[in-house]
Amino acid sequence: MSLRVVDNSQPQSPHKRNPGFPLDLDWVERVRMNRSALERRAVSIGARRTVKKDYQLAWLLKAITLIDLTTLNSDDTDGRVERLCAKARHPLRQDILDWLDVPDLRILPGAVCVYHRFVKTAVEALDGSGIPVAAVSTGFPHGLAPLETRLKEIEMSVADGAAEIDIVIERGMVLRNDWQGLYDQVRAFRKACGDAHIKTILGTGELATQTNVAKASLVCMMAGADFIKTSTGKEKVNANLVTSLTMIRMIRWFAEETGIEIGYKPAGGISRSKDALNYMALMKEELGTGWLQPHLFRFGASSLLTDIERQIEHGLTGHYAADYRQPMV
């Protein structure tokens, strides 16, 4: 079969990086979120927006290009990271690509995400592929190490070749409304990143209210974040559509006020193709098709790719393959 799919795996035009802006506490204090209204809107996404057949296959191929293929386990090894990078180079089996008849498309994940200890291993394993390495840093997942240690982690990851740094904010700063402290830390992290893009992990499941999530999102964007990200994947509550809607609407408001487009990364618990399609539909409806690009939207996921492969094979053959036919690591 042959799919009509536009190759959007790379930005279509140069993307202006967020330079950061002065902290505007008046703007922060104006932020309010109505949780009930957010919940009603979020519930409508999966019920109203579905794609079927060839369209679904095309969306799933797009979803692969939006994945930060991730391993963040306590028992990670160089060998596991190397196998993950091998999977990143060839995310779909060759027979599936042959069936799809899309030889000219660049179907590769947006990045490979690892602990900073494994950055050099991943950079070497991905050499020549064009796939960037993202490193979690700043005392991941809690973000409570001394500031000097967290800054040093960023510098070491960048020195080893990380092109993206996923930093963790101190959730306590949000809970006590210490917006100046949060702003100053994220500015310091941004400076330490240099040319590497910075994704700020909010740990939204621990921020108590959607208004707190919205305010934290805004402060991080003012401080120069290139992406805002929901979770470390280690919290009890990780990414969900309600919180995503809160963060996406702050991104839209920030873009309207500053002209700067900020990326969004839901992470933690996104393992089904259906969930990925719901998030993509939400992004398309709230921010537009232009945000469905790797430089503006990523999934933080470790097992999502396996389910996408199974769904694509089902769409082609009518049968679900066993998981072992799409081994990850």
Q: Which of 226, 265, 275, 307 is catalytic?
A: 265
Query: Considering 166, 226, 275, 307, which one is annotated as catalytic?
Result: 166
Which of 1, 104, 117, 10 is closest to 66 using CA atoms? 10
Answer for the pair 283, 297: CB distance below 8 angstroms, yes or no: yes
Q: Are 39 and 244 in contact (CB under 8 A)?
A: no
- Is 229 labeled as catalytic in the residue annotation? yes
Q: Does residue 265 carry a catalytic annotation?
A: yes
Burial class (CB in 10 A: 0-12, 13-18, 19+), 56: middle
CA 112, 113, 118 angle in degrees (round to 5)? Answer: 100
**CA-based nearest residue to 164, from 303, 265, 235:** 265
Q: Of residues 68, 215, 229, 275, which has the active-site annotation?
A: 229
234 catalytic, yes or no?
no
Distance CA 113, CA 94 (A): 24
Distance between first and last Cα of the chain: 29
Active-site residues, by number, are 166, 229, 265
